[in-house]
Structure 1
Amino acid sequence: MIFNKLPILKTSAFFLIVIFFSCKKTPATPMPPVDPGGGGTVPDSTITPGKDPATANTIGFFLDDWQAKTFTAPAYTETTITVSATNTVTVDATDIITKIPLSEFGHNAVWWMGPVAGDARFIEPITNLHPHIIRFPGGSSSDAYFWNAAQGINPAGTPAMFTKEDGTTEPSGFSYGKTNYNWQCNLDNYYAMLQQTNNKGIITINYGFARYGTGVNPVADAAHLAADWVRYDNGRTQLWEIGNENFGNWEWGYRIDVSANKDGQPELLTGALYATHFNVFVDSMQKAAGEIGKTIYIGAVTAEAPSPESWQTNTRKTWNAGMMPGINNKADFFVVHNYFTPYQTNDNANIILSSALSVPAVMMEYVTQTLQSYGATIKPVAMDEWNMTSNTQKQQVSNTSGVFAVLVMGEALKNKYGMSARWDLLNGWNNGDDHGLFSAGDEPGINKWSARPSFYYLYYLQKMLGDRLVNATVAGNNMVKAYASTYTSGEVNVTLVNTSATAQTVEIKMKNFYSGSRFYWYSLEGSNDNGAFSRKVLVNGNGPAGDAGGPVTYASLKAFSSITTGGIKVSIPALGAVMMVVDKK
């Protein structure tokens, strides 16, 4: 470049200058491969380029709608962390684990949540949260849901009484897609809500009707009902699943009244019988999709873990052995559910958070191993119901539930699930044993659709997350957990979780990345109510006006920000999390 500034010289003089500059040598200064966070000291020659790995079989088509992300720096408040860090997180920005599926952040809607389309109390936060996938019409009740029936009008072939797992009976208790009850969400209202919030759905088909139906061919009746739903849906939904937890003795159709059955089905369901019926559903539904020129994907109910417990039935213990080879690879994906913690026990925070860290890997390993053992093809895995069952201390509505949610999401990404969906958007207070992301309006002093702490953790997780998951390692306290991602626009995200009861300081070190001049973060933690299970969450020190939830101004809160010159250091609150983005050079 210096030659461009020289005057025009005679040829001989010009070559003398060239020789002078060519012979002058500068000793090479070795540069460190790790950026200490001081503004980008890594030279180009030391950066190992990243390469997207092959799409994992357990993710598959769930990456078809992957989107590159561009980071836009938020408004911020200047903040400086002056203390020395006792923990180090090292992020390798080009060690890519997977592209991040949009379907990883789903939630479950339920028919009893009431009409939500047009209700700003629901539409605004769901639009902001943007889960991408919202499951409907429910969990177990999906197997008693008739999508095209008006309230109280039962289709032909439906029994007046259900047979329970112990052989006793109870009134059928169906729900209806064309209900006019003002406390229920009908099917068209669900579709309108998806459109208004720019989300898509996954629909759980009524498989139970194939079992308890009293028609001459109940399997054909149920499959035809499902195919008609595909036609009515007309391409609005790509994801469908046949039944809900049908291996469970708590499900409609697990046990039937054989005296009312006309096609010779056994009293108790098995995985092999479900597979036979599943194939009929798939043929009918895919035929319907072909008629209207749409593509759909259909999932099969899958047992998610070994079943050594004495209370589990033979159906549950042998489910995968019969289902996996029996479906003849017709499933497009496999559906698993998990409620992580020991069933309905008063667990402490350590048990809850430890389960979030261990269960996703155990479950994925079991599903893939059983698929291989039974000669089935490994296909995408969707964990479309997850939560905890810990109770009595308001664990499910607490700040710790929000920390739990971030860990579940991080581990689901690391273990390459194609999809996950939290249960559920709205449930019932039950003195705090409530899975709802929002209050149902029966919580004392709290309005309906008031967001719980988990909402805020999941909102900021997505807000700061990039589009590729990369490797992050922690040195120091093993109670600190880290997940990292990169943006296509070049920045690096780090999500830090503190599972301990004391604050932790962390310094971020970078590999294969030029740190820019600034980093931004949001810090989330509980308040001083209810011990480890605060019903409140504070975001950068801002909390709710009432007794529960978080700041109503969450969408406009300023981030904390600091320059990188002194290193990238933050403090993670006790039982809290930090979501951070570091500028590129």
Structure 2
Amino acid sequence: MKLIIKHISVIIVIVIVLQACTKAKTPDTTIVTTDTGNGGATGSITSPTDPSVAVSQGFFLDNWEAKTFTKPSVQNAAKPTTTASVTVTADFANVVSKVSKNLFGNNINPFTGQYTDAGVVNNLTNLSPNIIRAPGGSLSDVYFYDLPSGGKPADVPAELLKADGTPDPTTGYWSGLVTDSWSISLNNYYSLLQKINSTGIITVNYGYARYGLSDHPVETAAHYAAQWVRNDKGRTKLWEVGNENYGNWEAGYRIDVTKNKDGQPEILTGQLYGTHFKVFADSMRKAASDIGATIKIGIVLTETNDQSNSVGVQNWNAGVLSSAGSSPDFFVVHNYYTPYNENSTPETILATPSSVTSSMLSWVNTSIQTAGIAPKPIAMDEWNIFASGSRQQVSYVAGVHAVLVLGELIKNQVSMACRWDLANGGADGNDHGLFTYQQTGTPDFTPRPAFYYLYYFQKYFGDRMISSVVTGSTNIVSYASSFNSGEAGVTLVNKGTTDQVVNINFKNYYTGANYYYYTLKGGADNAPYSGIVTINGNSPSGSVGGPSNYTAIAASSSATSGGILVTVPARGVVFLVCDKK
């Protein structure tokens, strides 16, 4: 429809220009008439306002970056002819949270190669994890960054103790100055970060403070951590002390008191760890100050109620927080969402992101409040699923789960997370790795399905989450976003077993001419846990992962006129972005 406006149009233009030159925060209520039935607003709109930064996000949002949407190559796609039974309404004016690039992190471990291959580097550059945690989960508590392969300090025992108190004949220590092709060196870790434009978070060896044989093992271990900070030369801003130290699987959980020289108990307690943390933090901050660097140091908490912990320290959080007080800069939790080693169904797996994320944050906040200390930012720097028995961890369902986790973290105002892990190996490819490693019949570092879900989520999710509401189905989950460049997007997840046609409406947003989207779904192999993913109909050439041309696949494109409609396949995901007017 065309509007013929004469003299009054000059006045309207002047008003609009004057409004654009001011920084007033009053709502923009300019009246614009648009085509009806295009999924957008048809009257006055309210401009979005960013919410204040939540304490749970804190400094993890300091490096927030505005995003500009780049229109991909497109192929015209016919709209669904079936009537939409589901409606998603996204409100452009209601900003839930800014989106931190620290959410898309991952973990590296020291036994999956040197990460110098050009193909690996290229895929990681495309993935853009932004932050990589090292040196590798539980191995962090037996890791010595400045020793050669096979090296160990003189003041560590030949054998550590198992959870039951017996010596572990398989005890081994890990080193940073390695040259073996199968084990990454510390220098190559730093080099990888530079190549893929990412930064790091480093876990220092807390276990050494427990099993060390010197007269003062805590001070010795803290000094060693501080030396790493100095040698890091300001490259790493985020550090944490120990890994899952509440667990009976960790080095230092149980020590031989006959060899300990500073009177530590046999079994670690939360209070003792919290006390030791302050020694580490003081030494590490002094080291950072000596080199003119500023660092943040995280402390280990449990993600669930630990008052009856059967595989580790009970009342860990209470003890840690009471003794560490205000010393930590942030709180660290890990979460593997599904029941341990259960042959979980897709329904069980896909139900966990919402419920488990919510209960985890509730528990952490309760722990903080009970301890009477100030809240701090929260980092979930290990997460995945424990489900096993049907190759769940390497299936496309794990990719759908990853999308849901990221969406729930943003919605709950968490701004730092690292998935576990880039590559792992073991059980012939049935492991947590985002890439294959030592999987029969498949080249090492072939991207698995979850890789593609993570790639498209970050690329087609904006820099702010906006609110969205779903009606007509409990199986459809929506996470809506906006780009600083003006576009709006919606990520749709179908947790159900039948395709769903979804109609998308935007409030307080004038839609442009077209919308673009990518549809990801699993294959027919190993039902219901396919090991492949198809992207807009493009399939992989092999039996693992997705299409190799994933960066060049054309987006499906349809006109907004007549409504924004899309089919979300059974247990599929659609990443959609709509033009601005």
Q: Please indicate the TM-score interval, normalised by the length of the shorter structure.
A: over 0.9
Cα distance change on mapping 1:5 and 1:434 into 2, 3 Å: closer
| Partner residue of 1:457 out of 442, 450, 453 | 453
2:300 maps to which residue? 301
Amino acid at match of 2:415: G
Amino acid at match of 2:508: N
- Do the aligned partners of 1:36 and 1:510 also contact (CA within 8 Å) in 2? no
- Do the aligned partners of 1:413 and 1:469 also contact (CA within 8 Å) in 2? yes
| Partner residue of 2:150 out of 126, 149, 152 | 152
Deviation string 1:509-543 (CA, Å, 9 cap, x unpaired) is 11000011100000000011111100000000101
1:410 maps to which residue? 407
Cα distance change on mapping 1:556 and 1:272 into 2, 3 Å: same
SS at match of 1:321: helix
Cα distance, 1:115 vs structure 2: 0.6
- Name the % identity: 48
1:273 maps to which residue? 272
Amino acid at match of 2:129: P
Q: Does 2:370 match 1:373?
A: yes
Cα distance, 1:156 vs structure 2: 2.8
2:21 maps to which residue? none
Large movers: runs of 4+ above 3 Å: 1-6, 31-37, 307-310
1:65 maps to which residue? 63
Cα distance change on mapping 1:291 and 1:487 into 2, 3 Å: same
SS at match of 2:165: coil
Q: Distance in 1 between matches of 2:161 and 2:484?
A: 54
| Partner residue of 1:423 out of 420, 425, 428 | 420
Cα distance, 1:80 vs structure 2: 1.7
| Partner residue of 2:165 out of 150, 153, 167 | 167
* Unaligned residue ranges in structure 1 (runs of 5+): 7-30
2:19 maps to which residue? none
* Unaligned residue ranges in structure 2 (runs of 5+): 11-30
Q: Does 2:327 match 1:330?
A: yes
Matches within 5 A, 1:546-565: 546-565=542-561
Deviation string 1:450-487 (CA, Å, 9 cap, x unpaired) is 00000000000011010011101100110000001101
SS at match of 1:170: coil
SS at match of 1:268: coil
1:125 maps to which residue? 123
Matches within 5 A, 1:37-436: 38=38, 40-43=40-43, 46-83=44-81, 84-117=83-116, 119-171=117-169, 172-307=171-306, 311-313=310-312, 315=313, 317-436=314-433
Q: Distance in 1 between matches of 2:42 and 2:187?
A: 55
Amino acid at match of 1:492: A
Amino acid at match of 1:151: S
Cα distance, 1:430 vs structure 2: 0.7
2:484 maps to which residue? 488
Amino acid at match of 2:419: R
Cα distance change on mapping 1:3 and 1:577 into 2, 3 Å: closer
Cα distance, 1:39 vs structure 2: 6.9
- Do the aligned partners of 1:35 and 1:41 also contact (CA within 8 Å) in 2? no
- Do the aligned partners of 1:108 and 1:424 also contact (CA within 8 Å) in 2? yes
Cα distance change on mapping 1:309 and 1:526 into 2, 3 Å: farther
Cα distance, 1:121 vs structure 2: 2.1
Cα distance change on mapping 1:211 and 1:85 into 2, 3 Å: same
Amino acid at match of 1:568: I
Q: Does 2:445 match 1:438?
A: no
Q: Distance in 2 between matches of 1:79 and 1:511?
A: 25
Q: Distance in 1 between matches of 2:129 and 2:242?
A: 22
Deviates more, 1:255-264 or 1:169-178: 169-178
Amino acid at match of 2:127: L
Q: Distance in 1 between matches of 2:240 and 2:6?
A: 67
Cα distance, 1:153 vs structure 2: 2.0
SS at match of 1:223: helix
- Do the aligned partners of 2:481 and 2:490 also contact (CA within 8 Å) in 1? yes
Q: Does 2:537 match 1:538?
A: no
Q: Does 2:500 match 1:504?
A: yes
Deviates more, 1:421-430 or 1:194-203: 421-430
Amino acid at match of 2:205: N
Cα distance change on mapping 1:4 and 1:36 into 2, 3 Å: closer
Cα distance, 1:180 vs structure 2: 1.9
Cα distance, 1:3 vs structure 2: 4.9
Amino acid at match of 2:227: D
Amino acid at match of 1:213: G
Cα distance change on mapping 1:41 and 1:372 into 2, 3 Å: closer
Cα distance change on mapping 1:100 and 1:310 into 2, 3 Å: closer
Cα distance change on mapping 1:37 and 1:435 into 2, 3 Å: farther
- Do the aligned partners of 1:35 and 1:510 also contact (CA within 8 Å) in 2? no
1:18 maps to which residue? none
Q: Distance in 2 between matches of 1:33 and 1:570?
A: 25
Instruction: Give the TM-score normalised by the residue count of structure 2.
Output: 0.93
Q: Distance in 2 between matches of 1:467 and 1:310?
A: 39
Amino acid at match of 2:564: I
Cα distance, 1:157 vs structure 2: 1.1
Deviation string 1:332-352 (CA, Å, 9 cap, x unpaired) is 000000111111011110000
Cα distance, 1:67 vs structure 2: 0.3
Cα distance change on mapping 1:253 and 1:5 into 2, 3 Å: closer
Amino acid at match of 2:173: F
Q: Distance in 2 between matches of 1:336 and 1:539?
A: 33
Cα distance change on mapping 1:305 and 1:42 into 2, 3 Å: same
Q: Distance in 2 between matches of 1:52 and 1:33?
A: 26
Cα distance change on mapping 1:78 and 1:166 into 2, 3 Å: same
Q: Distance in 1 between matches of 2:384 and 2:37?
A: 37
Q: Distance in 1 between matches of 2:436 and 2:36?
A: 44
- Do the aligned partners of 2:306 and 2:317 also contact (CA within 8 Å) in 1? no
SS at match of 2:97: strand
2:572 maps to which residue? 576
Amino acid at match of 1:561: S
Cα distance, 1:559 vs structure 2: 0.5
- Do the aligned partners of 1:39 and 1:517 also contact (CA within 8 Å) in 2? no
Q: Distance in 2 between matches of 1:414 and 1:35?
A: 32
Q: Distance in 1 between matches of 2:419 and 2:255?
A: 30
Over aligned residue pairs, what C-alpha RMSD do you find?
1.9
Q: Distance in 2 between matches of 1:312 and 1:175?
A: 25
- Do the aligned partners of 1:35 and 1:513 also contact (CA within 8 Å) in 2? no
Deviates more, 1:420-429 or 1:60-69: 420-429
Q: Distance in 1 between matches of 2:148 and 2:264?
A: 29
Q: Distance in 2 between matches of 1:5 and 1:518?
A: 27
2:17 maps to which residue? none
Matches within 5 A, 1:469-488: 469-488=465-484
SS at match of 2:160: strand
Cα distance change on mapping 1:36 and 1:214 into 2, 3 Å: farther
Cα distance change on mapping 1:517 and 1:287 into 2, 3 Å: same
Amino acid at match of 1:128: N
Cα distance change on mapping 1:553 and 1:363 into 2, 3 Å: same
Q: Distance in 1 between matches of 2:85 and 2:100?
A: 33
Larger radius of gyration: 1
1:9 maps to which residue? none
SS at match of 1:419: coil
- Do the aligned partners of 1:53 and 1:97 also contact (CA within 8 Å) in 2? yes
SS at match of 2:115: coil
SS at match of 1:555: coil
Q: Distance in 1 between matches of 2:51 and 2:273?
A: 35
Deviates more, 1:233-242 or 1:34-43: 34-43
Deviation string 1:121-142 (CA, Å, 9 cap, x unpaired) is 2100100000111000111110
Q: Distance in 2 between matches of 1:323 and 1:4?
A: 68
Cα distance change on mapping 1:407 and 1:36 into 2, 3 Å: farther
